[in-house]
Amino acid sequence: MTTRTAADHAPARAFTIGPLHHVQLSVPTGSEDRCRAYWSGVLGLSEIEKPPVLAARGGCWFRGDGIEVHLGAEADFVPARRAHPGVLVTSLDALADRLLAHGLPVTWDDNLPGYRRFHSADPFGNRLEFLEPAAPAAPAAAAA
């Protein structure tokens, strides 16, 4: 990997950033079956094949509607308890019910205006945030 400095850059050119291609989370070495059980079995994402050179490193990748998650195996794994992806979903209550039915945590948080959300964790303790836009408030009835 080459690091470039400001002096290495060409004159300013227009560009855009986003959307994200994927998010990577760390998982313990040898945990691929547990990853599959969670990301496919519980959340319903499809596993996608890793390129052979990357597959040799372990871990696995998953994709769903508008999301791709790469799970990288680490021998000295430590869960991300603060850093987390924020995943937009529909039917947030149905997802919360599904997670709870699988014995996974659901901690509701109403501190983000305009969204309903909760935090949970994957089977390894990595923090995950699931959110959906809050329904707009009904307009007040006009005074008679």
Specify the pLDDT at position 85.
96
| Secondary structure letter of residue 6 according to DSSP | G
The domain spanning residue 88 has which CATH number? 3.10.180.10
Report if residue 61 sits inside a domain.
yes
> Which residue in 57, 53, 66, 63 sits closest to 32, CA to CA?
57
Please give the pLDDT value at position 10.
64
Q: Does the pLDDT of residue 127 top 70, yes or no?
A: yes
Q: Which tens digits make up the pLDDT trace of 14-59?
A: 999 988 899 999 999 999 999 999 999 999 999 999 999 999 999 9
Rounded to an integer, what distance in angstroms lies between the CA atom of residue 72 and that of residue 24? 7
Considering the domain boundaries, does residue 107 fall inside one? yes
Taking the alpha carbons at both ends of the chain, their separation in whole angstroms is 69
Given the DSSP bridges, would you call strands 23-28 and 67-74 parallel, antiparallel or unpaired?
parallel
Contact 115, 132 (CB under 8 A): yes
Q: Say yes or no to pLDDT of 137 above 90.
A: no
Whether residue 121 lies inside any domain: the answer is yes
- Expressed as residue numbers, the domain containing 100 is 23-133
Residue at 15 is within a domain: no
| Predicted confidence (pLDDT) at residue 4 exceeds the cutoff of 80 | no
Specify if 1 maps to a domain: no
Q: Domain for residue 30, yes or no?
A: yes
The pLDDT-based confidence of 143 (bands split at 50, 70, 90) is low
Predicted TM-score (pTM) of the model is 0.84
| Overall domain count for the chain | 1
7 falls within a domain: no
For 57-110, the pLDDT digits (tens) are 999 999 999 999 999 999 999 999 999 999 999 999 999 999 999 999 999 999
| Within a domain: 66 | yes
d(CA 3, CA 78): 27
Instruction: Please state whether 14 falls in left (phi above 0), alpha (psi between -120 and 50) or beta.
Output: beta
Kindly state the average pLDDT of the residues 110-114. 96
